[in-house]
Amino acid sequence: MKLLSTLSIVLIILTNGLFAQNNNLVVYSQEGLKFTVILNGIRQNPQPETNVKVTSLNAPNYQAKIIFANNMADINQNVYLTNGAETTTNTEYSYSIVNVKGKYKLRFNSTAPTSSVVENNDPQQTIVVYTPVAISTTTTTTTTSNSGTNTSNDNVGINMNGAGINININSSVPTNTNSTSTTSYSSSTTTTTTGGNTGAVDNDNYVMPGYSGVYGCRHPMSSTDFESAKQSIKAKGFDESRLILAKQIIGSNCLLCSQIKDLMSLMSFEETKLELAKFSWHHNLDKGNYYKLNDAFSFESSIEELNNYTQSH
């Protein structure tokens, strides 16, 4: 039994390894709608565009959100970078934004090897490299203002010489007429913003060290809260009661695979463990590590059933 479990883990690792490549995702609007692509909670293109290509994607699927510039309802949908065939070829996957009965959705269109794609062949297409985490920005604002007062002394001397009148302007003679002018200089403000992904959405997402797979939620449950919840579940005398409480806790939180596995160890029966694992899939942060739950099962059939469940959801 342990041998079968080990083989299953190896197969899953090998399968995940097939996606350690640089795929592209193209999203475009045939209607010319401008939009922003959000992948796993992080904004990719800095400003709304009608055609966006995201490169260097190495996971089999991503949680995508399309935010329209004209404030239409967002699209929230998973995009899959796999056609069901095991391949190590870098591939470009194309999705279009379509209107289905008044509601916009992403529709898969086509695939092509990236080696056959001519870059920048569409002047309307914006190409960005995948950003897995938000990049912090620094904004510096400098304001300058100047004002001054200019005073000029004009000396006017009048001499009567015979029949004529001689008017002499002499700045060295004590003033007879003084003129004062004030000049004001306008203020100027210079704002400089540095950083890459300046418009990141959910830029406080938790980033798991050493993990580059798909994220299912934003922040894992803190270790303190988890230990408290774990003790509460453990205090229940029966599996049914433990499962009910565990679902209540998991349903309003985000858990790591390691935390889910700990909760499964509190269950006595295989059936209860499997039900908990299925429920937790929708509240798990590091979905790429879900295969690690296989060690918590005693039967190969449970591993297969959980795998089928996660693949279909």
pLDDT digit string, tens, across residues 137-173: 444 455 555 555 554 455 545 555 555 555 454 544 4
Q: Can you give the pTM of this predicted structure?
A: 0.42
70 within a domain of the structure (yes/no): yes
SS (H, E, C) 252-283: CCCECHHHHHHHHCCCCCHHHHHHHHHHHHHH
143 within a domain of the structure (yes/no): no
| CA-based end-to-end distance of the chain | 27
Q: At 70, is the pLDDT very low, low, confident or very high (cuts 50, 70, 90)?
A: confident
Judgement on whether residues 9 and 117 belong to the same structural domain of the protein: yes
Strand partners, 220: none
Judgement on whether residues 132 and 241 belong to the same structural domain of the protein: no
93 within a domain of the structure (yes/no): yes
Amino acid at site 221: M
Judgement on whether residues 10 and 122 belong to the same structural domain of the protein: yes
Domain boundary residue, one of 102, 136, 170 = 136
Q: How far is CA 93 from CA 33, 140, 170, in A?
A: 20, 40, 85
- In sequence order, the 6+-apart residues with CB closer than 8 A to the CB of 150 are 180, 181, 182, 183
Which one has a higher pLDDT value, 224 or 20? Answer: 224
184 within a domain of the structure (yes/no): no
35 within a domain of the structure (yes/no): yes
233 within a domain of the structure (yes/no): yes
Count of structural domains within the chain? 2
Domain boundary residue, one of 72, 105, 136 = 136
Residue pLDDT, tens place only, 119-130: 555 778 999 988
181 within a domain of the structure (yes/no): no
Domain boundary residue, one of 136, 155, 180 = 136
123 within a domain of the structure (yes/no): yes
Q: Whole domain around residue 295: which residue ranges?
A: 223-312
Judgement on whether residues 131 and 228 belong to the same structural domain of the protein: no
Judgement on whether residues 10 and 129 belong to the same structural domain of the protein: yes
